[in-house]
């Protein structure tokens, strides 16, 4: 059996593939490997964005490996410093992640996708949270994030009954950024990743930081935070004081592509 998590770098893009047949379920070792991959994204200055996907065509991830969790192996539930699947609890990560959902995203697999900044999906993908059917609940970020991404009543139904959401429904609700045939999924994810790489890196970092901070605030309070408390948004302050903030307008005036330096 090969590595459960494969990592490939393509320029500024880090492609992370969860490949643990038959269902890409996540045990402790797999979670730690995912966490290491997202840590690499965070710390490597040359990386701009990550794509996380699943191996095979049926499952993105079935989520928590219940068999491993029920074993006597203490390492099976040691998920690493960033928690289960390495992303849902990684609050310091300041670069975007695209989830390329190639099949069923169930339980913790759906929570992994929800923790990404963009989700693109294959036409046959399905999203569901079956935890209540096995006596637990989606506390890997699902109960926190899903009601913010889809209508509240639908989120409750999905969490309490295990109701499945199709890719077409997810696209119509705005949960997904794109839905494509399975054969085109990675091309679509890479297209979105390259579009992010074409933007100014400090701008992307500031957008991610601001979105996270203003989520619980009113519009007025969020604007006040940005205008009057810029020091509390260091990525935002760094963007305005950067060479790139001057390069963008200059390149526009000179009718050329900007050359971003990330400083």
In this predicted structure, the answer to whether residue 76 has a pLDDT above a threshold of 70 is no
Q: Which of 197, 215, 231 is the last residue of a domain?
A: 197
Q: How far is CA 138 from CA 25, 84, 89, 155, in A?
A: 15, 12, 13, 11
Question: Do 65 and 84 fall into the same domain?
Answer: yes
Question: Do 57 and 176 fall into the same domain?
Answer: yes
Question: Do 131 and 229 fall into the same domain?
Answer: no
Question: Total domain count for the chain?
Answer: 2
What are the b/e assignments for 154-173, b being 16+ CB within 10 Å? Answer: bbeebbeebeebebebbbee
Residue carrying structure tokens 């979670």: 31
Assigned token pair, 231: 């020091």
Average pLDDT over residues 51-65: 95
Domain hosting residue 218, numbered range = 201-253
Q: What is the pLDDT of residues 138-151, one digit of tens each?
A: 999 999 999 999 99
Q: What is the DSSP track for 87-153?
A: STT-TT--S-EEEEE-SEEETHHHHHHHTSSEEEEETT-EEE--GGGGT---TTTHHHHHHHHS-HH
**How much is the mean pLDDT over the chain?**
94
Question: Do 165 and 220 fall into the same domain?
Answer: no
Identify the active-site residue in 15, 39, 92, 131.
Answer: 131
In this predicted structure, the answer to whether residue 2 has a pLDDT above a threshold of 70 is no
In this predicted structure, the answer to whether residue 1 has a pLDDT above a threshold of 70 is no
- pLDDT confidence of residue 188: 98
- Is residue 111 annotated as a catalytic residue, yes or no? yes
- Is residue 131 annotated as a catalytic residue, yes or no? yes
User: H or E stretch including 59?
Assistant: strand 59-61
Identify the active-site residue in 15, 39, 111, 254.
Answer: 111
Average pLDDT over residues 42-54: 97
Question: Do 223 and 166 fall into the same domain?
Answer: no
Instruction: Report whether 95 contacts 203 (CB < 8 A).
Output: no
- pLDDT confidence of residue 68: 75
- pLDDT confidence of residue 261: 92
Question: Do 185 and 55 fall into the same domain?
Answer: yes
* CA nearest neighbour of 201 among 154, 161, 259, 150: 259
Domain membership of residue 110 (yes or no) is yes
Question: Do 81 and 101 fall into the same domain?
Answer: yes
């Amino acid at each position: 059996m090969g590595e459960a998590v494969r990592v490939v770098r393509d320029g500024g893009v880090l492609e992370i593939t969860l490949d643990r047949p038959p269902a890409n379920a996540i045990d402790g070792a797999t979670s730690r490997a995912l966490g290491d991959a997202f840590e690499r994204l965070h710390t490597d200055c040359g990386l701009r964005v990550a794509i996380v996907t699943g191996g095979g065509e049926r499952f993105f991830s079935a989520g928590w490996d219940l068999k491993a969790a029920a074993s006597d192996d203490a390492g099976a539930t040691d998920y690493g410093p960033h928690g289960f699947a390495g992303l849902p609890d990684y609050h310091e990560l300041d670069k975007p992640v695209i989830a390329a959902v190639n099949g069923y995203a169930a339980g913790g697999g759906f929570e992994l996708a929800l923790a990404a900044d963009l989700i693109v999906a294959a036409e046959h993908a399905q999203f569901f949270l079956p935890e209540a059917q096995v006596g637990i609940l989606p506390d890997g970020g699902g109960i926190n994030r899903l009601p913010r991404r889809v209508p509240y009543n639908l989120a409750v139904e999905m969490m309490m009954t295990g109701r499945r959401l199709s890719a077409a429904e997810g696209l119509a609700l705005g949960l997904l950024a794109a839905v494509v045939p399975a054969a085109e999924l990675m091309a679509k994810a890479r297209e979105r990743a390259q579009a992010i790489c074409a933007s100014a890196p400090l701008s992307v970092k500031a957008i991610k930081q601001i979105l996270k901070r203003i989520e619980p605030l009113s519009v007025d309070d969020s604007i006040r935070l940005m205008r009057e408390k810029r020091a509390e948004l260091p990525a935002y302050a760094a963007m305005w004081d950067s060479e790139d903030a001057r390069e963008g307008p200059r390149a526009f005036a000179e009718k050329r592509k900007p050359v971003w330096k990330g400083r």
